[in-house]
Amino acid sequence: MGIGQVYEFEKTGRIEPENTQAGAGAIQPLGPNQEKWLVAIESGAFIQGTLYLCKEDKYCCLGIGCVIFENIKKKENKTDLYKFGDEEGIYGAPKELIDILNLFTCYGDREDHLTNIEYKNNRLSFLNDSGRSFSEIAELIRSNPAAYFRSPK
């Protein structure tokens, strides 16, 4: 629990999520892992692909995260798909990437994914697969980091 959360708990008896502590109108800062990932997305070094984290050297925005953080295992198979992490990591981000970036879900859902009926249209995997460019996705995340990250990391 952060200092702001301790103060909030003492004051109100409840704890708000970390990403709302900045106050009205303030933008949650990016952490170093999040900034590293966004810079990689914006770099132009990766070819954008759809439907998979990585297939035939084309990447989803989440797949780029799997490549740049060295502690995520990459496993090749016979279909030119790559599996990342210790779990299924073909379509959604593996647990390791969720933890490194502090994402809400393996598909890059927004923080309101449980209450917003349009949430699937706002998840990073959907934006990637529906034709949004890497730079558009990065710009969207930078405009409201708290929507996609639990807190800076």
Q: Domain extents for the chain?
A: 27-148
Exposed e or buried b for every residue in 88-105, given b needs 16+ CB within 10 A? Answer: ebbebbbebbbebbbbbb
Q: Are 116 and 13 in contact (CB under 8 A)?
A: no
pLDDT per residue as tens digits for the range 111-133: 887 777 666 688 999 999 999 99
H or E element, residue 59 = strand 58-59
Task: List the 47-48 sheet strands across, edge first.
Answer: 47-48, 58-59, 54-55
The distance of Cα 21 from the centroid of its chain, to the nearest Å, equals 20
Angle of CA points 27, 101, 42, to nearest 5°? 75
For residue 16, the model assigns a pLDDT of 44
Residue ranges for the chain with pLDDT beneath 50: 1-22, 78-81, 89
Angle of CA points 114, 152, 147, to nearest 5°? 30
